[in-house]
């Protein structure tokens, strides 16, 4: 029995070595193989730990009992048209990663809430021009997706006294957070949210959800933070909303194509801030135990933790 790691980073990179050393430390004697060089006999592979696997690869492993995402998102696994039937798909749900994601979003939101770009411009012009920022309770923030990450972010925003709403598929009862849900709840949610943070999974229902219609529904002069997936944003609609003044800013961590190509107009856009999909990088030190617990469960035929509902896509 073997665990196959299918990852876009090289096993000899520092991140690759961190994963391998942590896995071997926590499960001595494990037959850990890296795709493609150590694939070996595919019949011996009983679990795959994957991020962006080549389409069809998982289906070529005849004795697979578990497909485990290397991160919280699973879109790069579920987009495989040949995803094998009947094999559970699990994801990482890790407090370390959740904290990093909330921190990223808070940093972005506070940046705009306190008008940090103005003070950068003022510094460049040696201009001393203090202005009073609105109180947090006058700032209406909308969190799209209040699952593991969005719920944590919303609670932290409430603790800072922001006026917070969440949008999800099912209604929520979070203290201090106005709950909107379903297709009918989207427009009123957007209409009350000056700043919108996207923390949705990428599914056929959420693809392109941040589009011209959504931006037009938001109050003029607001902005978005997208730390979920690039496929949530319609790029041309975002640029038009920024250029036309409907939106004042966008902070983007994720893109339809990653790395973001040098010729992409987002790079040079003055109202867009970019980070290279590092809002929350899975930390092997904290995530490996739950992955190996699932590996043990798969081998023992026990129920798997943090499984994905394939019909919902998350
Ligand atoms: P969860 O699965 O825990 O939560 C998803 C939330 O989205 C839920 O509240 C769910 O509603 C809601 N949702 C899903 N589909 C819809 C829909 N059609 N309409 C309305 N609401 C919907 O996800 P996580 O919080 O764990 O992660 C969210 C995403 O963050 C990941 O899928 C990944 O893409 C991204 N991510 C990005 C990282 C980065 O570094 N940039 C790092 C980690 C994650 P309900 O509660 O009703 O089910
Ligand atoms: C994730 C990510 O989904 O890093 O975990 O994007």
Q: Where do the structural domains in the chain lie, given as residue ranges?
A: 2-94+282-300, 95-274
95-274 shares the fold of 2-94+282-300: yes
Give the largest CA-CA distance in the chain: 69
Residue with the smallest CA separation from ligand 2 atom 3 is 73
Residue 26: predicted pLDDT: 98
Residue 151: predicted pLDDT: 98
pLDDT, the chain, mean: 98
CB of residue 280 inside a 6 A radius of ligand 2: yes
46 pLDDT tier (thresholds 50, 70, 90): very high
Q: Which atom of ligand 1 is nearest to the CA of 254?
A: 41
First to last CA, the chain: 28
CB of residue 72 inside a 6 A radius of ligand 1: yes
**% pLDDT > 90, the chain:** 100
Residue 300 class from Cβ within 10 Å (0-12 exposed, 13-18 middle, 19+ buried)?
exposed
* Mean local confidence (pLDDT), 263-291: 98
185 φψ region: left (φ > 0), alpha (ψ -120 to 50), beta (else): alpha
230 pLDDT tier (thresholds 50, 70, 90): very high
CA distance 45 to 4: 6
Residue 180: predicted pLDDT: 98
CATH of 2-94+282-300, one of 3.40.50.720, 3.40.50.10420, 3.40.1190.10, 3.40.630.40: 3.40.50.720
The reply to whether CATH 3.40.50.720 applies to domain 95-274 is yes
229 classed as catalytic: yes
Which is catalytic among the residues 33, 91, 140, 229? 229
With the most atoms of ligand 1 within 8 angstroms of its CB, the residue from 95, 149, 205, 210 to mutate is 149
């Amino acid at each position: 029995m073997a665990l196959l790691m299918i990852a876009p980073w090289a096993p000899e990179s520092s991140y690759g070595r961190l994963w391998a050393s942590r896995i071997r430390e926590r499960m001595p004697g494990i037959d850990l193989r890296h795709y493609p060089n150590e694939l070996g006999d595919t019949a011996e592979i009983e679990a795959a730990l994957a991020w962006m696997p080549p389409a069809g690869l998982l289906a070529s492993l005849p004795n697979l009992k578990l497909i485990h995402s290397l991160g919280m998102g699973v879109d790069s696994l579920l987009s495989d048209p040949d995803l094998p039937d009947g094999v559970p798909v699990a994801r990482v749900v890790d407090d370390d990663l959740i904290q990093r994601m909330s921190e990223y979003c808070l940093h972005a939101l506070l940046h705009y809430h306190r008008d940090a770009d103005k003070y950068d411009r003022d510094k460049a012009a040696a201009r001393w021009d203090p202005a009073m920022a609105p109180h947090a309770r006058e700032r209406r923030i909308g969190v799209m997706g209040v699952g593991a990450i969005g719920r944590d972010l919303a609670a932290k925003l409430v603790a800072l006294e922001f006026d917070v709403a969440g949008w999800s598929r099912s209604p929520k009862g979070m203290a201090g957070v106005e709950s909107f849900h379903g297709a009918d709840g989207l427009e009123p949610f957007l209409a009350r949210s000056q700043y919108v943070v996207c923390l949705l999974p990428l599914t056929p229902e959420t693809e392109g959800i941040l589009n011209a219609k959504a931006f037009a529904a938001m109050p003029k002069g607001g902005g978005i933070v997208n730390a979920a997936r690039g496929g949530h944003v319609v790029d041309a609609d975002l640029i038009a909303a920024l250029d036309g003044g409907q939106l004042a800013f966008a902070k983007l961590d994720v893109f339809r194509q990653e790395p973001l190509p040098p010729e992409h107009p987002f790079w040079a856009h003055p109202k867009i801030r970019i980070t290279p999909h590092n809002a929350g990088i899975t930390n092997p030190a904290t995530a490996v135990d739950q992955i190996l617990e699932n590996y043990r469960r798969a081998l023992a035929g026990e129920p798997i933790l943090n499984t994905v509902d394939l019909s919902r896509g998350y």
